[in-house]
Amino acid sequence: MPLLPPGVTNEDIQTLNVLVGQIFDSAQRSIATHQKLVIKLSALRDKSNKHGLESIFNKIFVMMINRILPVKKGETCADRIVKFVETFVSRQANDGNEQNTDENEESSIGYFAEFIIQHLRRGITAKDKNVRFRCCQLIAVTINHIGEISDDLFSEISLDLISRLHDKEPSVRLQASLALCRLQGVDEEEDEDEDEIGKTLISSLRTDTSAEVRRAILLNLVKTPKSLPYLLERARDVHPTTRRCVYSRTLKEIGDFRQLSIGMREKILQWGLQDRDSAVRTAATKMFVSNWLETTNNDLVELLERLDVLNSKIAETAMLAFFDSRRDVLDKLQFSDEFWQALSGESVFLARMFNQYCNAHDELKDLADVRMPELTKLAFLTEKYLGLLEKTGNDPELEFIIEQLLTIISTSDFSDEIGRRKNLVMLRNSIVALDLNESLINLSMEIIYKISVSERDFSQILVELIDDIRDTVDQNDESNESQLVVLLKCLFVMKSALELIRSPLEDNVHLNSLLHALVVPAMENGEAAVRERGIHCLGLCSFLSKDLAAKNLDIFVQCFAQGHESLKLDAIRIISDLLIIHGLDVVNEDSLMTIYKLYYKAVRNTRLPELQALAAEAVCKLLLQGVFTEEDVSLMWDTNNKKTKKRAYIY
């Protein structure tokens, strides 16, 4: 038996044992008395230290802890003791910080904490899962409230806890991950042990099967340039609560979202705002509406500048979500004359989204009418930026500004005759004279269609447009290149128009003339690009005429059989749409088997997965139309390793 300090008897030790036991007994009954009990136990520890009984107190303390180690997770009494231990250790650490002039006191507290951890280490690898769980849990709450531990203990406990990250029990892995998160160094210069901890935690964050473990690491892992991409990656986690935590906690703790790359901002918004879980969408919206906007001093234009709206795929969805959450902003937005004269990509996008949102809600349409310029003014504005585009060439920002202005014009009221005429002249001149991109041509043709009195009137304008475009070729310029560019432009303008027209081809003399004067010669052209565009236009014309579809179906079948990948895709789209629109009336008995074989080959074409998926979707639609029978489709049912094809069949 060890020698006792002078003046200390065995009875004193037994009394200390009883007093500590009574305190722990009271602690397991109610959390409400924990503060008082912590004060009593602290006083008892101080008194023990003064009489040289520090080591004996520590042994008694861990003996009390031993009582709860075999207790399973969820037992209230044991959980209260864990909470009590955490409160007590925290109190000792705080008292030590307040009395930092006393080096002996600091040493005593450090020794006490390390004694507890060393004792609990022995149970980390126990056979009993409850013991492993409680040991990891107590280590986690102890580490959380102490300042420093020795390097040797740091290395030892790190290895022990890392081994528990692979425990078969999720509850053990959870507590081990929490403890390791608290061992992380916050300094930029990490030692090897700390770096190993970070790598191991990131690995568990990405691969652990338990959502609780992944979420615990997500919320406690130190945010560093190394760990940040992996933390944000959890926005694609399979568990909705974990995904929500990324938006409600992780991104909020990061602070300034501008430290993220443009690509990462885009992904974060896309994943959150398009999530299938409403709670995640709400959290992502709140992050965008509140946190990100506050970072830019509530400046919407600056916020949009941080999203790169010229190339963004999610900015539109983000702004619609913003207006849904902040209807009050709609009343505050003003678009002055100075605003329209100095447009940027972000400012015009804001105006376009304001106009789009208001027009989508009946109660806000009047607000859009008041805030947006009149039709004539919009035409002059667009004309101004078209002039700038002509001078500067292909400027992506100018093209974007013009696209947004045209989108606003497309939602305008065309009852204003002066504005209607001005827009028609402006659009015709720009299509003829300028080298507009496909998006601008499509928008321009859509507006011309809305301006036109009827489809016959629209078709007449189309004929005049194509004649004017052809006239732009210099008669003295015999180069094939310039003629090819003009021909391709004519075909694209016709394609854009055909996508809008709905009346039968037989009733439209202007379209018939273009069919024979433009489309048929394009089909016979020596340039592959011209032929492909001609085939596309022929397909669109066939949608408007059953006789034309029946007459040219074999051409599309031949394009599928002999064409390259993109032509095969176009051909099967056209054939499928023709069968859906006109039914089997366009297919004679001899051709029906050819059509069956075509789809069979497309569905079985493993070299072209996109073609497979497109054909599978078409087969399902044609099955609903009665073109194919279930027996025919069953022959094409092999969906091994073809996710897009399988999704089409499920549809």
Give phi and psi for 321, each to the nearest 5: -65, -35
Question: Averaged over 433-442, what is the pLDDT?
Answer: 94
Last residue of a domain, one of 305, 323, 341: 323
The pLDDT confidence band at residue 101, using thresholds 50, 70 and 90, is very low
Q: What is the pLDDT of residues 317-359, one digit of tens each?
A: 999 999 999 999 998 999 999 999 999 999 999 999 999 999 9
Question: Per the domain annotation, does 133 fall within a domain?
Answer: no
Other beta carbons less than 10 A from residue 512's beta carbon:
16
Residue 252 lies in a domain: yes
Residue 24: CB partners within 8 Å, gap ≥ 6? 64, 67, 81, 84
Residue 186 lies in a domain: no
Percentage of the residues of the chain whose pLDDT score is greater than 70: 91
Is the residue at 559 inside a domain?
A: yes
Write the pLDDT tens digit of every residue in 258-271.
889 999 999 999 99
**What domain range is 603 assigned to?**
551-651
pLDDT computed for residue 187 by the predictor: 40
Q: Is residue 526 part of a domain?
A: no
Which structure tokens are listed for 623? 């099955």
Average pLDDT (46-64) is: 89
CA 483 to CA 494: how far, in whole Å?
17
Cα separation values, 641 from 599, 605, 614, 644, 646, Å = 19, 13, 16, 9, 9
Give the mean model confidence (pLDDT) for residues 73-101: 83
Which comes out higher in pLDDT, residue 599 or 187?
A: 599
Task: Work out the number of other CB atoms within 10 angstroms of the CB of residue 430.
Answer: 21
Could you give the dihedral angle defined by the CA atoms of residues 606, 608, 613 and 618, in that order, rounded to the nearest 10 degrees?
A: -100
Q: Mean pLDDT across the stretch 127-156?
A: 89
140 within some domain: no
DSSP string computed for 197-233: HHHHHHHHHHH-S-HHHHHHHHHHS---TTTHHHHHG
Q: What is the pTM of this model?
A: 0.84
* Boundary-marking domain end, from 290, 323, 356: 323
* pLDDT at position 420: 94
Q: What local confidence, expressed as pLDDT, does residue 632 receive?
A: 59
Q: Is residue 280 part of a domain?
A: yes
Which is more confidently placed, 640 or 395?
395
Structure tokens at 332: 């505050």
Per the structure, the count of domains in the chain is 2
**What pLDDT, in 10s, does the model give residues 596-640?**
888 888 888 888 999 999 998 898 888 887 777 776 566 555 545
22 occurs within a structural domain: no
Q: Are 132 and 172 in contact (CB under 8 A)?
A: yes
Last residue of a domain, one of 270, 296, 323: 323
